[in-house]
């Protein structure tokens, strides 16, 4: 069971990281598998700037794929025009969902001071990278009894060291 708070958009044009994680990245012209998605690169303004992609057979290296260079997000793979779109990840992203500077598990608090839960996943527009929803959890048993909650916010979050502050209206 999922509780939804203030959702007024069509969610079928959105993507969650949990659906994207582990998906193969293919080159459109050759059909070659280039690598697989391992994380999101998120800016201080709460925008998905790109994807972290692991590439290589034995010595896997992490690359950055700008979200604007994604030709399409399919249910079974991410398509790019060519692997020149991948850049070697030289600097640590501002934030990720699961790696360094991780947002996963960070406390989410409303601007009115209400604790919302812990961040578990994000909903974002594929074309723009704009995060418009946050899946939160209060823990395993709460998820089983009450379901996960989805928080909707039109405005960018304030990402801090200890918490993520979101402007959210309950319905």
The domain covering 19-96 belongs, at the CATH homologous superfamily level, to: PRC-barrel domain (2.30.30.240)
Highest mean pLDDT among 54-58, 75-79, 129-133: 75-79
Cα–chain center distance at 112:
25
Does the pTM surpass 0.75? The reply is yes
Identify the bridge partners of residue 16 per DSSP, sorted by sequence position: 123
The reported pLDDT for the residue numbered 21 is 93
Distance between CA atoms of 94 and 158, rounded to whole angstroms? 13
Q: Is 41 exposed, middle or buried (0-12, 13-18, 19+ CB in 10 A)?
A: buried
The 10s digit of each residue's pLDDT in 82-115 is: 888 899 887 788 899 888 888 999 999 999 999 9
Residue boundaries of the structural domains of the chain: 2-13+103-166, 19-96
Q: Given this chain, do its domains 2-13+103-166 and 19-96 carry the same CATH topology? A: yes
Query: According to CATH, what is the number of the domain 2-13+103-166?
Result: 2.30.30.240
């Amino acid at each position: 069971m999922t509780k939804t708070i203030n959702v007024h958009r069509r969610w079928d044009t959105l993507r969650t990281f949990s659906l994207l994680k582990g998906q193969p990245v293919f080159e459109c012209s050759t059909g070659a598998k280039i690598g697989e998605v391992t994380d999101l690169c998120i800016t201080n303004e709460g925008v998905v700037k790109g994807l972290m992609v692991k590439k290589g057979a034995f010595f896997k290296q992490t690359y950055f794929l700008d979200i604007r260079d994604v030709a399409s997000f399919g249910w079974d793979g991410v398509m790019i025009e060519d692997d020149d779109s991948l850049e070697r990840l030289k600097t640590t992203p501002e934030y990720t969902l699961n790696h360094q500077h991780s947002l996963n598990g960070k406390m989410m608090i409303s601007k009115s001071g209400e604790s919302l839960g812990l961040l578990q996943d994000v909903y974002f527009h594929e074309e723009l990278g704009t995060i418009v929803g946050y899946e939160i959890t209060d823990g395993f048993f709460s998820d089983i009894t009450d379901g996960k909650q989805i928080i909707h916010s039109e405005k960018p979050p304030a990402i801090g060291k200890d918490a993520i502050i979101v402007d959210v209206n309950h319905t």
